[in-house]
Amino acid sequence: MSLKIKILFLIGSVITVLMMTISVAFLYQFRSVVIHKEVENIRSITDAISIPFLDALVYSETDGINPDIILERHLSYLADKIEGIRFVHIYDSNDRLVIHSLFHFNTGDYTYYNPPPATRSFVPGRQILNISRQEGNGWIIEVESPLAIAGKKWGTAVLGFDGNPVRREIISISRILLYLGIAVTAITLLVLYFLINRLTMSLGRLTDAIDHFDLETPQTDLPLPESDDEIGYLSHRFELLQKRLIESRNHLAVTQRQIYRAEKLAFIGRLSAGIAHEVNNSVNGIQSCIYAIEKDPQNTEQTTSYLKLINEALKHIENIVKKLLEYSRKNNPSLSEVDLRETIQNVIQLCSYKIKEKKIDIDFKAEKNLPVINADKHLMREVMMNLIINSIDAVGEEGRIRIRSGRKNKECIYLHVEDNGAGISPENQELIFEPFFTTKETGKGTGLGLSAVLGIVEAHDGEVRAQSKPGEKTVFTITLPISGKK
Amino acid sequence: MNAIKKPSPVNRFKKVVITLGAVLIFTLLTLFIYATVLDLSGTYEQERNTALVHGRDTGKPVKYFGVVSRFPAHIIYQRYQPLMDYLNQNTGYHFSLKLSQTYEETATQLAGGEVDAAFMGSYVYATSREEHNLISILKPLNQDSLAIRRSVIIARRDSRIESIDDLRGKTLALASEHSLSGNWLPRYMLARHGILAADLNTITNFPNHHSVIHRVLNREYDAGAVRDQVAREYLNRGIHIIHSSEPLPTSPIVVSRDRDPKMVSAIINALLTIERDSIGEYEPVREDIGPHIRYTLSDEADYDFILEIIAFINAQNDAG
Ligand SMILES: Nc1ncnc2c1ncn2[C@@H]1O[C@H](COP(=O)(O)OP(=O)(O)O)[C@@H](O)[C@H]1O
Ligand SMILES: [Mg+2]
């Protein structure tokens, strides 16, 4: 529900209830005043017009005069002169009917005229005024008034008065109050509507401003004011907020630059650690070659090939050192034609010492259509070296490592390194490419291998993905553009 | 404003229902209030001092209290009925007023037992007590708690009548021939000053004291004689008192010596112990048409002098 409707609804109901309460209170007050006034009025009229009736009855007792003539004369006088009187019944001290009017004075109507009962019993010592609705006559105010002096009663006068004028008075005031209430409520709501419209319009402007405010980083969930704060105040606050946001954004940029620098330093550190690692890997390879030559020095053919391997490992080390020197100068790898079959086989040979030690079943197959790709030979070696060593570390005794490579499509080749080792837990899969993330004990792992792989593959515009079902298998998939750059 | 969501149909339906409900409740409430406000039915009672008066209704023995007056009956009831109500509440009897036109009638009724007690003028009592075997039992007290009143002679303030001696040759209005303070005592006072009926232009008796004052105020008569209390009502309306009598006893309540002494002592006990203000709206000052609030025991000897006065006046007039 919009704020406008909410406020209108709320204030509308409050005003309605308020108006109604006031009107009802006023109405009841007015009603009781009107009725009270009428009761008093009728009492005094009754007392005044009862005197001749009383006198007639008193004289009939003291002087033996027949009261009928006096009573009748007075009746006709009342019919002529007293407005609103409907009937008069006079009872004697024994509550027997003495005389009564013959029809309703004002209406002259016989239809609804009920002849009064010949005897009635009256409550002594009280004048009773009763307002009630009578069939055909509307509202009648009936008064039973004792005709008495002090403690002596000569009879009772029962007088009927028209109650409808009082009622009409109350009806008219009720209507006026009702219309007034509705009018006041409507006017108030109208004024309120315009006021709220203005309010929501400026609120709308403010929200527009908020919506269009963009810091590159989206700031969408700025809350709308819920209380009826002044809009100006709100806008001012929003301005301040904007300023603060811009300031903190600038601050952030500075900080980011600092972090970037720190990262670069960290990367150099990481690189040197990686280099140490690479050198170590190559030295391990050389060691295993020397070990084989030492075992069988007479086998010149083997010695020649091992020496060739040793030479390549040394070249690799040389390359690494060169690369470190180049790192600051050059971001792009130096591209040349690389046959991945050769590279992978070389890496497997370099690792054969560990493979044999762990009795690992390693299996490398390259599809025939695997082309020569344009890449940095040494970096490709590093990638393969890292993936294969990670797999060797991951599998247990007699583990299995499967390496597959082939053409993925026109532009790319793929490379799978799969093992049935421990696997990577889902939460770690997010983290393994982070530098220095390692699960290996200190001295064994640096946590830099995969981050180096990622860096190299991305530098070649390729992609690297890791999939792992812990306990079952782990697959690292690399895609590389054949042309070196897409 | 574009941030305002469009309400879902379910929400809208709910809102419509709530609004309709509110309107319905409002309308019903209005109709209900309208109906209750316009229902005028009701009973409004007001206490009227009208205890049932008939002896047969109360079960008490009915006794009659005589009153003599030429005032209209309803005025007499207005004056005397409160005292009857008081007696009815404070004695074992039910007293009912019996109005009569003449003093003789009341005296005869007292003697014959038709009335059991009566308010009676001093003169009538003094002259009829022997014949009808009557006795005065109580007399009322005035505002000063004295059982006395005076007879005064009044004249208009703008007249040159300043004393009794100025009355020679003037016209004089008197009250009833049966009135001590309005007739006999004034005649006596004049006689004592050596003014006889013959020395005045005219002497006329009127039925009550108020008529006397009205005649004087209307310049029909030069002077008049009335009871002091009545004169006092008119002092600031153009009359003044030129002579005031010695104190006279107030008019007694009288019974026949043959009456039931229990009833008599019941009346005496009740009236002697009236608390001031115990009798409602009641005007004691207009003594000629109403009893006083408080009473004291009467002394037979109080009224003896009246016969002497009558004798004196008759003798003077005979001599004149
Ligand atoms: N083939 C794999 N099987 C299981 N875990 C692996 C595999 N390759 C990498 N990992 C996980 O990734 C982590 C990071 O690898 P890496 O960056 O090469 O650092 P390091 O080998 O020095 O630990 C390893 O510690 C290991 O937990
Ligand atoms: Mg590693």
The pLDDT of residue A221: 44
Q: Minimum-distance ligand to the CA of A452? A: 1
For residue B291, is it within any domain?
yes
Q: Are residues B256 and B189 in the same domain?
A: no
For residue A445, is it within any domain?
yes
Give the β-pairing of B62-68 and B94-100: parallel
A153 and B82 within 8 Å at the Cβ level: the answer is: no
User: Which parts of A296-396 fold into alpha helices (H)?
Assistant: 300-327, 340-357, 377-394
- A420 CB under 6 A from ligand 1? no
A166 and B40 within 8 Å at the Cβ level: the answer is: yes
Q: Are residues A31 and A160 in the same domain?
A: yes
Q: Are residues B211 and B265 in the same domain?
A: no
Residue of A24, A35, A208 lying closest to B40 (CB–CB): A35
**Residue B181 sits in which domain range?**
151-246
Q: Are residues A352 and A436 in the same domain?
A: yes
For residue B35, is it within any domain?
no
B40 and A55 within 8 Å at the Cβ level: the answer is: no
| Ligand 1 atom 1: residue of nearest CA | A391
- A424 CB under 6 A from ligand 1? yes
Residues in chain B within 8 Å Cβ distance of A39? 44
Output DSSP code: residue B201.
S
* Distance between Cα B126 and ligand 1 center (Å): 151
Task: Give the mutation target among A271, A281, A388, A393 for probing the ligand 1 site: most ligand atoms within 8 A of CB.
Answer: A393
For residue B2, is it within any domain?
no
Number of domains in chain B: 2
* Distance between Cα A428 and ligand 2 center (Å): 14
For residue A182, is it within any domain?
no
pLDDT tens string for chain A (486 positions)? Answer: 576 777 777 887 888 888 888 888 998 999 999 999 999 999 999 988 888 888 888 888 887 778 888 888 888 888 778 888 888 889 988 889 888 876 555 555 555 566 788 888 888 888 999 999 887 778 889 999 999 887 788 899 999 888 889 999 999 998 998 888 889 888 988 888 888 887 777 777 777 777 777 665 544 444 444 445 566 777 777 778 888 888 888 888 787 677 656 655 655 555 566 667 778 888 888 888 888 888 888 888 888 888 888 888 888 787 767 655 654 444 556 889 999 999 999 888 878 878 888 899 999 999 998 999 999 888 898 899 889 989 998 998 889 999 999 999 999 999 999 999 999 999 998 889 887 788 987 656 667 788 888 888 988 889 999 999 998 999 999 999 998 765
Is residue A343 within 8 A of residue A380, CB to CB? The reply is yes
For residue A193, is it within any domain?
no
Sheet containing A152-162: order of strands: A97-100, A85-92, A152-162, A138-149, A126-134, B42-47
Distance CA A305, CA A293 (A): 10
The last residue of one of the domains, among A117, A148, A171, is: A171
pLDDT in tens, B132-167: 999 999 988 877 778 888 999 999 999 889 999 999
User: Which parts of chain B fold into alpha helices (H)?
Assistant: 9-38, 55-58, 73-90, 103-112, 122-132, 185-192, 209-217, 228-233, 261-272, 304-319
Please name which of A446, A425, A427, A426 lies closest in space to residue A435, comparing C-alpha atoms: A446
Q: Are residues B198 and B68 in the same domain?
A: no
Residue of A nearest to B8 (CA): A1
B62 and chain A: CB distance < 8 Å anywhere? no
Q: Are residues A374 and A438 in the same domain?
A: yes
The pLDDT of residue A273: 62
Distance CA B176, CA B188 (A): 15
DSSP H or E segment with residue A401: strand A400-407
Residues in chain A within 8 Å Cβ distance of B109? none
Distance CA A12, CA B320 (A): 104
Q: Are residues B56 and B69 in the same domain?
A: yes
Residue of A nearest to B279 (CA): A150
Distance CA B265, CA A361 (A): 149
* Distance between Cα A460 and ligand 1 center (Å): 22
Q: Could you give phi then psi for residue A215, rounded to 5 degrees?
A: -115, 25
Q: Are residues B105 and B228 in the same domain?
A: no
Q: Is the pLDDT of residue B286 over 50?
A: no
CATH of the domain at B266: 3.40.190.10
Q: Are residues B120 and B265 in the same domain?
A: yes
Helix axes of A449-459 and A377-394: crossing angle, nearest 10 degrees? 150
Q: Are residues A307 and A345 in the same domain?
A: no
B4 and chain A: CB distance < 8 Å anywhere? yes
Decide: residue A192, CB within 10 A, 0-12 exposed, 13-18 middle, 19+ buried. middle
Is residue A480 within 8 A of residue A412, CB to CB? The reply is yes
CA distance to B85, B170, B215, per residue, from B165 (Å): 48, 10, 21
For residue B169, is it within any domain?
yes
B1 and chain A: CB distance < 8 Å anywhere? yes
A246 and chain B: CB distance < 8 Å anywhere? no
Give the number of the atom of ligand 1 that is nearest the alpha carbon of residue A433: 17
Distance CA A473, CA A469 (A): 5
For residue A183, is it within any domain?
no
CATH of the domain at A155: 3.30.450.20
- A343 CB under 6 A from ligand 1? no
The last residue of one of the domains, among B224, B246, B268, is: B246
Distance CA A457, CA A478 (A): 8
The pLDDT of residue A157: 92
pLDDT in tens, B26-77: 889 888 988 888 888 889 988 776 554 444 456 889 999 998 877 788 888 8
Express the helix, strand and coil content of chain B in percent, nearest 5 each: 45, 20, 35
DSSP H or E segment with residue A231: helix A231-295
The pLDDT of residue A344: 93
- A36 CB under 6 A from ligand 1? no
In the numeric block, the tokens 């309703």 are attached to A104
Mean pLDDT of B1-7: 46
Q: Could you give phi then psi for residue A402, rounded to 5 degrees?
A: -125, 130
Distance CA A231, CA A206 (A): 8
Give the number of the atom of ligand 1 that is nearest the alpha carbon of residue A438: 25
For residue B74, is it within any domain?
yes
Q: Which of A147, A152, A208 should one mutate to test binding to chain B, selecting the residue with the greatest count of B CBs within 10 A?
A: A152
Q: Which of B24, B47, B50, B90 should one mutate to test binding to chain A, selecting the residue with the greatest count of A CBs within 10 A?
A: B50
For residue B24, is it within any domain?
no
What percent of chain B shows pLDDT beyond 90?
A: 31
DSSP H or E segment with residue A267: helix A231-295
**Residues that place a CB less than 5 A from ion ligand 2:** A 390, 449
Q: Are residues A237 and A95 in the same domain?
A: no
3-state secondary structure of A13: helix
Q: Are residues A158 and A271 in the same domain?
A: no
Pick A101 or B283 by higher pLDDT. A101
Number of domains in chain A: 3
CATH of the domain at A441: 3.30.565.10
For residue A112, is it within any domain?
yes
For residue A54, is it within any domain?
yes
| Ligand 1 atom 18: residue of nearest CA | A449
Output DSSP code: residue A103.
S
Q: Are residues B137 and B271 in the same domain?
A: yes
Q: Are residues A308 and A361 in the same domain?
A: no
Q: Could you give phi then psi for residue A127, rounded to 5 degrees?
A: -100, 120
Q: Are residues A162 and A277 in the same domain?
A: no
For residue B11, is it within any domain?
no
**Residue A298 sits in which domain range?**
214-330
Residues in chain B within 8 Å Cβ distance of A29? none
State the number of CA atoms in the 13 A half-sphere of A340 facing the CB. 29
In the numeric block, the tokens 């004295």 are attached to B146
The last residue of one of the domains, among A330, A347, A371, is: A330
Distance CA A263, CA A273 (A): 15
The last residue of one of the domains, among A171, A189, A204, is: A171
Q: Are residues B225 and B156 in the same domain?
A: yes
Contacts of A367 (CB under 8 A, 6+ apart): A404, A405, A406, A407
For residue A181, is it within any domain?
no
Distance CA B310, CA B187 (A): 9
- A390 CB under 6 A from ligand 1? yes
Quickly count: other Cβ atoms within 10 Å of residue B274's Cβ: 18
B18 and chain A: CB distance < 8 Å anywhere? no
The last residue of one of the domains, among B229, B246, B263, is: B246
Q: Are residues B50 and B122 in the same domain?
A: yes
DSSP B13-49: HHHHHHHHHHHHHHHHHHHHHHHHHH---EEEEEE--
Output DSSP code: residue B157.
T
For residue B66, is it within any domain?
yes
Is residue A216 within 8 A of residue A248, CB to CB? The reply is no
Q: Minimum-distance ligand to the CA of A439? A: 1
Sheet containing A361-366: order of strands: A361-366, A400-407, A412-419, A473-481, A463-469
- A90 CB under 6 A from ligand 1? no
Q: Are residues A284 and A349 in the same domain?
A: no
CA distance to A127, A147, A157, A277, per residue, from A45 (Å): 13, 14, 12, 125
Distance CA A117, CA A158 (A): 11
Q: Are residues A159 and A218 in the same domain?
A: no
Residues in chain B within 8 Å Cβ distance of A146? 48, 50
Give the number of the atom of ligand 1 that is nearest the alpha carbon of residue A439: 25
Residue of A nearest to B38 (CA): A167
A-contacting residues in B 72-111 (Cβ below 8 Å):
72-74, 77-78, 81-82, 84-85, 88, 96-97, 99
DSSP H or E segment with residue A164: helix A164-212
The pLDDT of residue B59: 80
Q: Are residues A341 and A423 in the same domain?
A: yes
Residues in chain B within 8 Å Cβ distance of A170? 37-38, 40
- A391 CB under 6 A from ligand 1? yes
Q: Are residues A316 and A365 in the same domain?
A: no
pTM, entire model: 0.54
Please, what is the average pLDDT of chain B?
Answer: 84
Distance CA B154, CA B152 (A): 6
The pLDDT of residue A388: 92
For residue A427, is it within any domain?
yes
